[in-house]
Chains A and B, each alone.
Chain A
C-alpha cells in the first residue's frame, strides 16, 4: 500500500469543510497570540467567514456520489451534509450574538471562539461519522468543548456550577455510550464500521440476544443526553440557567442537531435487527419529553429556564419524526431542525440583547418592553410564536409537516399528544409575548423602566443586531416561502442511500374506495422510484 494509493483511498476531499474550520481555528488562535487583546476586533468575523466558507464547501459536497472517505470512517452523504450545514450555521449565528456578551463579561474572546469552533468541528464530524471510533472521538470533542464553554464565565459561580454538573452527568452518559458501542464491537466480532456491523451481527446469529438490546439502550442513553430527552434531561435546566447565554443557544441547536444526526445514522445502520425496540424506546422518550418539557415550562419564571424546558419539549417533537422511520418522517425532522435553528437562535439572541441591556432574564422583567424597544419585542414575539407553532410563521409549517408525517405513518397517538402539548406550549410562549406587548407604562418592570437608550454603535452590538434581524426575517419568511426548505429536507433524505432500503413503508390507512387518493399515492411512489 504505497502512499499515493493510500491518499487516493482516503478521499480526503470530503472533509474539506472541516478542514476549513480547523484552519480558521488555528488562524484565530495564532492571530490572537500575535496581535494580543485588540484581536477581538476581527477574530469573530474571521470565525464567521470560516464557518460560512465551510457551508459553501458543503454546498459542493451535496449529492456527492463518492461519499465514503477515510476507508469507511466518514460518510459525506446528503444527510450528513445537511446536518453539518445546520451545525455550522448555528455556530455562525452563535458567534454573532456572543461578541458583545463575551466582551462585556470581561473574558477573552479568541479562546471562546476557538473552543466554540472545536465544538462545531466535533458536531460536524459526529454528523458524518460512519465508524464507532470516529463516532466516539467526535462525541467527546463536542462534549468536552461544551463543558469548557459552559464554564467559560469562570468568575460566575453559577457558570462553574453548571460546568461541573454538565461534566459529571456528561461523563456518566458518555461512559454508558462507550459501553454500548463496545458491546456492538464485541457482538459484531470486532467490526467498527457501522455499515458492516449489521451484516456481522446477523452472521454471528446474535441479532436477538439481550446483548444487542443492551447495546441499543446504552447508545440511546448517550444520544438522549445530547438531545436532552427525558429522562436524560436533568442537566438541562441547571446548565441552561448557569451557562453564558450564547453557549446555551449553541447547545440547544448545534449540539442537539449533532445528536439527532448521530441518532439517525447509528440507529438506522447499526440496529435494524432491533428496529422494533428502538422505535419503542424512542417513542417513550418522545412522549416523556413532550409531556414533561411543555408542562413544566408553564411554571418557569426565568426566561432561560423556560427555553430550557421548551427545548426539551421541542426535542420531543423532533423525535416524532425519528420514530416514524418513514421518508417523510426523516424529512420532516430535518425540516423542523432547519427552522428550529432560526427561531430558537433568534429567541436566544433577543434574550442576550435584553440581558445585556438590563442584566436580568426574569420573565416578569420583560413587561412593557414594547414601549422601550419595539424591535426587540417584535423579534422575540415572532420567534416565540413560531416556536409555539402559530401560523403563518415558520414553526407552524414545521409542526404541520411533522404531524402530517406522523399521521400518514399511522402514529396517531403520538401526533395527538404532540398536538395537545403544542397547544400547552403556545400558552407559555404567548404569556411572554403578552407580557411584553400589552402592558401599559405604569405596569412596566423596574428593569424596563431603567432601560438604556437603544445604541447599536457600542462595540459588538452590530453583529448582535444583524443576528436579531436575520433571525426575524428568516423566521417570518421561512413559513411563507417554505418550499425551498421543504425540497431541501426532502432531497436530503432521498439522496441518502442509507435511508432508502430501511425505510419502512407504512401505508397510510385511507380507504381504498377513494379513487383520487390511490392515484396520488401511486404517482408519488413512481416519483420516488423514478
Chain B
C-alpha cells in the first residue's frame, strides 16, 4: 500500500492538470475548445473521479491502521529562510479527501445538466476543477504557509465563481463583499501565522502546538498573548466559515450558480474553516479563553443564522442561512472540545447540505421553465408550491435532506447534532440550551421551506404574487439608489432586461418539469449518505470517534466492539436525544400548521411580533450597520487620502496663486506652475527630513 502514499500528491494535481489543460486550451484556441463541451466535461469529471478512487484507497488504508504519512521537501531556502512544502496523510486528511472528492464528483455530474445551455460551460468546468484542486491541496497541507497559499486560492476561486453570472446585478456586489470580508479574516490569519512563527519558530502544526504549550507552561509566553495569537488564527475560519461577525458574505454569495453554492458554499470551502480549527486543535486545546470565544462565536452564529432563515423567501438564501447556522454548530463543537463531534457534523452536513442545494437548483431549473430566467421569480418560494407532483425525485431527496438537517433519527444529521449537543451539555449548559433551541428553529424553517416548495397548490402562474415580488425588488433597488432618485413607475420601464443564457427561453410551459437524469442522479446518490452515514457515529458504536480523534489523545486501539459497551448510559442518550428530537418535532408541527394546513396565519404572527419579525427579515440589520460604518467609512477615508494628495496639493497651488492662464495643453503644467511647486516640495521635504532626523 506504500505506493499510494508516495503518489498521494496526485490527488490535487490531477484536477489541477485538468483545469490547466482546459484553461490553456480556452486561452489559445477558445472557439475550438468551447465546441468540445462533452469532451472537456467528461475529461474533468474522470480526473476528479480518479482522485476520488485514490482518496477512498487512502481512507481504507488509514482505517486499516496505516500510520500517518508525511512527505516534506525543501521548497525554497535562502539563508535561514526556509520554506518547506509537502503533504501529510492522516486520519483527518483521508476523511476530508473523501468528502471533498465525492461531493465534487457528484456536483460536477450535476453541473452537466444544470449548465447544459450556458455558453460558459467549459470555462465553468475549468473553474470547478481548479477549485477542487485547491481545496484538496488545502486538505493535505502539512504546514501553515501551504495552508495559507491554498486558503487564498480557494478564496480566489470562490470570488471568481460568485461573479460567474454577471447578468445579475447583485452578483457584482456579492463577490465584492465576499472578497472584502474574506480579506479581513485572511489578514487576521496571516498575522496569526506570523505571530505563531515569531513565538515558536515553526510553521508545522504539531510543532506549533507543542512548543506553544511548552512556552506557556514555562511562563515565557503569557497565556493572554498565546490566546490572542490563537484568536488571530481563528479569524481566518471566522471569515471562511461565515461566523459572526464576518458572516455577511455567505448569503450574498448565493448569487453564483447553484453547483457552486453546493460545492463551495455549503460542502467544502466553508468547512475549510472548521478543518483548520481541527488541524490547529493542539494549539487551541490548551487555551481555554480561545476555546470559549470559539464556542460562543459558534453558538451565536448558529442561533443568528437560524433566526434569519425563518423569514427568508428566497430558497437559496434560506439554505445559505441554514448553512451558516450549521457551521456555527460545528465551530461550537470545536470550541467545546468535541473534536470528533464537530468533524462528524462536518461530514454529514457536507452530504445533506450539498444535496439540499442541488435540490434547490433542480427546483429553480424547473421553475425557470414557467416563470423565466428571473431570479426574483425563479427562486422565490412564494411562487412555488405543489412541486412534488411535477418533480418527484427532487421532492423526495429534498425531504430526506430536510429530515436529516432537522435531526430526526435515523437520518445522518440526528447523530452528529446529538453528539454535538451532548458534548456541549457537559461543558456548558447555556451553550447547550442555545444549540437545542436552534435545533427547534432549524426544524421549523426547513419544513417551512419544504412545505412552501413542494406541498400545496402551484402558485407559479399567480400574477398578483409576481407583481408583489417585482414591487419588493423595486423598493429594494429604489432604496439602493437613494430616496427620491426615481419613482418606482419609471423604474419598471428600465428594469434591466435580464438576458437569457439558455436557448429554451420563450417557450414557457405552464407546469414545471423534472430535471434531467444528470441532475437527479447525483441527488439520489447524495441521499444515500444523507440517510446512512450517521450510523458510523452512533453513540453506542462510535466508529467515527475512534477513527477521528484529536492528535494529542491516545488512539483507541482497534475499533469498538459491535456490542454496546457496558458503561454506555442509555438514560443520558435517551434524555439528550429525546429532547432534541422533541423540539425538532415541535418545530415541524408548527411549520405544518402554518404552511401545510394553514391553521395558523404566519402573517398574523408576524404582525403581533413586528419588531422581532423585522429584525429577522432584515438580518438583524447587520448588513446595514456594516454599510453605514465600514463601507461608507472606508470610502470616505480613501477619498480623504486622495484629497490630501491631489486636492490639497492642488488647493495649495491654487491658494498660492500659481495658476496662470491655461493657454495650451503642451505647457499646461508648466504654466500653472506645478513643476515649480513640485520642486518646492522636494526642497521642503529635504529640509524637513534633515530637521526631523537631526532632532531624533
Give chain A's interface residues, CB within 8 Å of chain B.
157-158, 160-161, 164-165, 168-169, 172-173, 176, 210, 213-214, 216-218, 220-221, 225, 231-232, 234-235, 238, 277, 280-281, 284, 291-292, 295-296, 298-299, 327-328, 331-332, 335, 374-375, 378, 385, 390-392, 396-397, 400-401, 403-405, 407-408, 415-416, 419-420, 423, 426-427, 430, 434, 437-440, 442-443, 482-483, 486-487, 489-490, 494, 508-514, 516-517, 520-521, 524, 528
Contacts and interface: CB of A to CB of B under 8 A. Distances in A.
Given A438-B160, A438-B164, A513-B215, A489 B682 contact: no
B207 interface: yes
Nearest to A238: B669
Contact of B685 (A157, A232, A513): A232
Contacts of B686: 176, 217-218, 221
B26 A299 contact: no
B160 to A, nearest CB: 7
B288 interface: no
5 contacts: A158-B665, A165-B675, A299-B638, A442-B499, A511-B215
A296 B641 contact: yes
B156 interface: yes
Interface in B210-247: 211, 214-215, 218, 220-221
Please provide the 8 A-B residue pairs with the shortest distance between their CB atoms, ordered closest to farther.
Answer: A524-B80, A517-B201, A490-B78, A391-B149, A486-B78, A157-B666, A438-B163, A374-B27
A217 B675 contact: no
Contacts of A513: 214-215, 218, 220
B630 interface: no
A130 to B, nearest CB: 25
Given A374-B26, A391-B148, 18 more contacts: A158-B665, A161-B670, A169-B679, A231-B681, A238-B669, A296-B642, A375-B28, A378-B23, A385-B156, A400-B83, A407-B198, A430-B159, A438-B166, A483-B74, A513-B215, A514-B201, A514-B214, A516-B201
Contact of A374 (B30, B194, B669): B30
Interface in B665-696: 665-670, 674-676, 678-679, 681-683, 685-686, 689-690, 692-694, 696
Nearest to A525: B80
Contacts of B674: 165, 238
A483 B164 CA distance: 35
Interface stretch (B55-63, B183-191, B431-439): B183-191
Interface of B: 23, 26-28, 30, 74-81, 83, 145, 148-150, 152-153, 156, 159-160, 163-167, 175, 179-180, 183, 187, 190-191, 194, 197-202, 207, 211, 214-215, 218, 220-221, 499, 638-639, 641-642, 645-646, 649, 664-670, 674-676, 678-679, 681-683, 685-686, 689-690, 692-694, 696
Contacts of B150: 391
B198 A509 contact: yes
A437 B218 CA distance: 53
B520 to A, nearest CB: 29
A419 B669 contact: no
B669 A214 contact: no
A494 B202 CA distance: 25
Contacts of B76: 397, 482-483, 486
Contact of A483 (B75, B79, B159): B75
B187 A173 contact: no
A419 B194 CA distance: 11
Contacts of A216: 693
A28 B535 CA distance: 80
B491 to A, nearest CB: 19
A292 B645 contact: yes
A172 B683 contact: yes
Given A374-B27, A517-B201, A392 B79 contact: no
Interface residues of A, dominant DSSP:
helix
B152 A280 contact: no
B198 A510 contact: yes
Given A401-B81, A439-B166, A160 B666 contact: yes
Contacts of A281: 689, 693
B665 A235 contact: no
B678 A169 contact: yes
B196 to A, nearest CB: 11
A374 B646 CA distance: 36
B690 A213 contact: yes
A173 B682 contact: yes
Contact of A295 (B221, B499, B638, B665): B638
Contacts of A427: 179-180, 183
Contacts of A420: 187
Contacts of B667: 161, 164
Given A296-B645, A374-B27, A521 B80 contact: yes
A217 B179 contact: no
Given A172-B683, A296-B645, A420-B187, A235 B670 contact: no
A169 B682 contact: yes
Contacts of B23: 378
* Chain B CB within 10 A, most for which of A331, A423, A511: A511
B79 A331 contact: yes
B638 A516 contact: no
Contacts of A157: 664-666
A401 B200 contact: no
Given A423-B183, A430-B179, A514 B215 contact: yes
B454 to A, nearest CB: 33
Contact of B669 (A165, A439, A512): A165
A502 to B, nearest CB: 16
B670 A164 contact: yes
Contacts of B201: 510, 514, 516-517, 520
B77 A483 contact: yes
A419 B221 CA distance: 24
Nearest to B645: A296
B191 A419 contact: yes
Contacts of A443: 166
A328 B28 contact: no
Contacts of B679: 168-169, 172
A210 B682 contact: no
A275 to B, nearest CB: 12
Contacts of B202: 516-517
Residue of A172, A216, A220, A415 with most partner-chain B CB within 10 A? A172
A280 B691 CA distance: 12
Contacts of A332: 78, 81
B693 A277 contact: yes
A201 B497 CA distance: 76
A517 B160 CA distance: 40
Nearest to A213: B694
A440 B166 contact: yes
Contact of A490 (B79, B645, B665): B79
Contacts of A390: 152, 156
B566 to A, nearest CB: 44
Given A217-B686, A225-B682, A396-B149, A161 B666 contact: yes
A176 B214 CA distance: 56
Contacts of B207: 516
A510 B645 CA distance: 40
A407 B166 contact: no
Contact of A510 (B164, B183, B199, B665): B199
